[in-house]
Structure 1
Amino acid sequence: LLRAALIQGSIDINVKADPAAQERIYQDHLRLSLEAVDRHDNLDLVIWPETMYRAPLILIDDDARLPEGTPGSVEIARQNGEVALQGLADLERAVGVPMLIGLDVIQVGDGVIDNFNSAVLVQVDGGLAARYDKMHPVMFGEYIPLGSTFPLLYELTAGALPRGIRAGERLEAFEVAGARLAVNICYETTVPHLLRRQVRAMGAAGAEPDVLVNLTNDGWFYGASELDLHLISGLFRAVELRKPLLIAANTGFSAWVDGGGRLRAQGGRRVEDIVLAEPRRCELTSWYTRWGDTPAGLCLAACAALVIVAVRDRRRYRTVQ
């Protein structure tokens, strides 16, 4: 179905935030990508973790106009966007294999600038084939509730969170070597109803995914047990949806999980690694994909009904007494 190299860097979050380290982060991941291509023949895809391509991709709408008081101009933003696209194309040409890359996207519209935590598929010719924007941002980590209504809330973070990211709205199948990929980002693998909704929506559109792909940056945890918890969450999503899952994780654990929830390959903890994944379509059907949390809802309704009956009967008993 697919032969993919999962690139695992080892960049702690304090290093990622250092502007002086941006070039080293890029070179580390480029080196690992070239090593993967050299080590494994006939790769269909190289996957980088969440936000490990540090230069933002700048996209300019046709009716773009900078918000009042924003320095610069639309023309400068457009030029920077062209440089960003060229950088992705140059990276893909250096590696020579289609790449799925996690990065920040800045979209300039009509008097508004939106920020996204995204994944893009870069084709062999350097063009962008598909894009996914994270749909479930981390509260207080990526946005502040009501922050878009009251921008002052972001100013109170003293620069730690200068602007929140916008939740993605569109779903798009990433097609590679005849396989359809459903991409998710970061802790979205801990949200079962989100992934189920994505798989069902793509299936309804005639593009049901063959493989789930998670891009995550777990450098926040410095190799602690949260890495294990995040990986285990992914195992459950693979079983629930009967889809193989590929995880490209900064600091670990990058992994290949089959549609039965079996861990087929795994990277190390807080080390650089390259994980080769060769997922196959899972022929099993998923009861959860079809029915979701309906059984849990029915159980809750039954419990509520039993409580109501018990309270009513107790009142009758007291009345008789």
Structure 2
Amino acid sequence: MNTASPSPPRLLPVWAGLLLAALSGVLTACSFIPVDWSGCVWIGFLPLLTALWYGPRRQGRKGALAYALYGWLFGVAYYGISFWWVNEVSTLGYIPLMIFYGGLFPGVWALVMGVFFRPDAQPLPDARQTGTDRRAAWKAWAMADMLPSAAAALGGAALWVCLEWVRGWLIPGFGWNNLGVALYGNPLAQWAEYTGVTTLAFIPVVFSIWLWRVCRRAGTMVVHEGRRTVPWDFFSLVSVLLVMFVVGVLWTARYSPQSGTATGNGKWTVPVMTVQLNLSQKEKWDAANRGAVYRALLDTTEQGLLDLQARTLEEAARNGTEASLDLPSWVIWPESSFPISTFYRDSTGELFPEQDNVNFLSAEEDYVQAIRNNLGNFILLTGTDDIYLSDEGRVARAYNCLTVFEGDYSTARPHAKAMLVPFGEYIPMRETFPFLEKAFEASAGTAMGLNYTPGASTEPVPVPIRPGSSVTVGVIPLVCFEDVVGGWVRRFVRQEPQLMVNVTNDGWFNRSSANEQHWRNAAFRCIELRRSMVRAANTGVSVALAPNGAVIADLRDSSGSPFTRGVMNATLPVGCTEITLYAMLGDWAVLACFLLFAALLLRRMNKGKRNAGPVKDGVYRRGATPR
């Protein structure tokens, strides 16, 4: 029997660790749009873990710094690729955001995993043993590795979830492209109803860490023993995930667009039509285009209704049936659809007379009301910019709103956006640090304008299910990126028929992946809250989503691009009135992850140094005896 031991692994060069960390970041970024290889989320961490855990432990502050550096580079690559579209708004903002914020949290994660959760240096069985004793010794060695593997996987996954939550909490909306979002379309995503999308990240992270540990265990046994034992711990994890997958399949069917749960047994549906003009920011805000923008809103809406009628008649003729036209009850225009703000008197709340927007929605003028009279009545939901002026004519308040119009402008019911975009809708500490405004103008190429005022209401807006009906649906009003902040949206949930309506203008990001990523992140609000959503976008993606997150309809051209002008028609189910666990308790699972991580970290710290002796860092030595 050969008792010689192989050469111990050398310390991984820092440059090799950096390459592995960058590879991990690239793989993880590929899990998201525009690449959208969701399978990468299950293996994305493996190169980074190899950088952290291969070979002898790095010692002292330099070692800890190396681990943090690996995580930092992973984060810069991961978020730098995923959020490349930030360049479309501000390269000056993109660079520090990625360097300081994108790499910060993965850096912390890698530091903790490298210092506290690296594999224990378990002594290997004595190579001089033979027969049954040798097999029993290796089996015992493998069994002894299972509990530390579970602890490392659970602790690492819990820590990642906590750091992702902090990332989205410090800058609301920057929780965008959490690892859980990569599970969209996978039945496992349906568990967001209980935990929220942030905690869904636990699933791929725990899988990746456990897989790495099992591969290390199997590789060690194959190298030294020529065989391996069955990894019962990993099989148990896979079995749990399989059960979760099957349950997710059942939930996907339960909350599908045509299900009795979603439609209230067919009684609760709302036909809607969204209008998308696909205007660039320059076109949208050019004062010379105001008349053209109004005209485009009217013409696109009118043509959409005419096309719907024509398609209905053609289908009836083709099938030999009687035409049954389900006109849209609600017509939805995007965020800031009007090319100018609407002005109110701050002291009284009254509209100033003779404004373009007021005339546009006048009952007497031949504009929106004419379409209602000729083609069918509808309720208009649209984005508006509302500005309140003092008696001296100065701006007192300004709001970015989603506004409901059942008739002319006197029927306006605005809901002000609460989650404002820094350096998009306001400049933080603008008066204290004027250079921030100058930096924004230099980067964006345009002046910031006024700071918006955040709204505060979390009351749904009751909207008649059909024009003139006394039966209402509670609209959860969401403007711009509010639909990606689950902790905010859940506050609107009531035990009644509801529909999430998002109006957005993603034109700031031009034809980048931000537009597709936006709706993908927003889809998890449907799963978390079991409410349907309709999104009306200026530049795409206009989409209707079911309570299971599935696409009911979206607006795309013949090539599949969402950057097109037109309308989207969809009938949305609003019959689900359940209150989910996430709606009730929010990110309770993040707290559970924090407690789990804290317990496992304390356990590791209290054990102290282990495995002193002839076997060091898992390296097989001649004559080593099991302990």
> Normalization by structure 1: what TM-score?
0.83
Q: Which residue of 2 aligns with 1:101?
A: 382
Change (3 A) 1:114 1:317: farther
Q: State the distance in 2 between where 1:108 and 1:174 align.
A: 28
- Give the structure with the larger strand fraction: 1
Q: Alignment identity in percent? A: 26
Q: Offset of 1:63 from its aligned partner?
A: 5.9
Change (3 A) 1:197 1:297: same
Q: Offset of 1:255 from its aligned partner?
A: 0.9
Structure 1 gaps, min length 5: 65-74
Q: Which residue of 1 aligns with 2:361?
A: 88
Q: Offset of 1:59 from its aligned partner?
A: 1.5
The superposition leaves residues 89-108 of structure 1 with CA deviations (integer Å, 9 ceiling, x where unpaired) of 34431331221111211012
Change (3 A) 1:274 1:84: closer
Q: Offset of 1:19 from its aligned partner?
A: 1.6
Change (3 A) 1:174 1:20: farther
Q: Which residue of 2 aligns with 1:68?
A: none
| SS of residue matched to 2:402 | strand
Larger Rg, first or second structure (1 or 2) = 2
Out of 139, 150, 166, the residue aligned to residue 453 of structure 2 is 166
Q: State the distance in 1 between where 2:340 and 2:566 align.
A: 22
- Contact 1:174/1:182, CA 8 A, preserved across alignment: no
What are the residue-to-residue correspondences of 1:173-192 with 2, within 5 Å? 173-177=461-465, 178-192=472-486
Out of 260, 264, 267, the residue aligned to residue 552 of structure 2 is 264
Amino acid aligned to 1:92: V
Change (3 A) 1:148 1:190: farther
Out of 428, 442, 453, the residue aligned to residue 145 of structure 1 is 428
Amino acid aligned to 1:175: V
Q: State the distance in 1 between where 2:440 and 2:509 align.
A: 21
| SS of residue matched to 1:34 | helix
Change (3 A) 1:148 1:50: farther
Change (3 A) 1:209 1:254: same
Q: Which residue of 2 aligns with 1:293?
A: 587
Change (3 A) 1:116 1:263: same
Q: Which residue of 1 aligns with 2:233?
A: none
- Contact 1:58/1:84, CA 8 A, preserved across alignment: no
Q: State the distance in 2 between where 1:12 and 1:301 align.
A: 47
Number of matched pairs: 300
Q: Offset of 1:119 from its aligned partner?
A: 1.4
Structure 2 gaps, min length 5: 1-268, 309-324, 373-377, 466-471, 557-561, 613-627
What are the residue-to-residue correspondences of 1:270-289 with 2, within 5 Å? 270-283=563-576, 285-289=579-583
User: Higher mean Cα deviation, 19-28 or 240-249?
Assistant: 19-28
Q: Offset of 1:2 from its aligned partner?
A: 1.4
Q: Which residue of 2 aligns with 1:31?
A: 299
Q: Offset of 1:164 from its aligned partner?
A: 1.2
Q: State the distance in 1 between where 2:476 and 2:270 align.
A: 14
The superposition leaves residues 138-168 of structure 1 with CA deviations (integer Å, 9 ceiling, x where unpaired) of 1111111123666785466556102111111
Amino acid aligned to 1:45: W
Amino acid aligned to 2:568: V
Q: Which residue of 1 aligns with 2:43?
A: none
| SS of residue matched to 2:511 | coil
Amino acid aligned to 2:569: L
- Contact 1:129/1:174, CA 8 A, preserved across alignment: no
The superposition leaves residues 70-118 of structure 1 with CA deviations (integer Å, 9 ceiling, x where unpaired) of xxxxx9x8346x6543333344313312211112110125775211111
Q: Offset of 1:271 from its aligned partner?
A: 0.5
The superposition leaves residues 206-234 of structure 1 with CA deviations (integer Å, 9 ceiling, x where unpaired) of 8x551000001111222221111011012
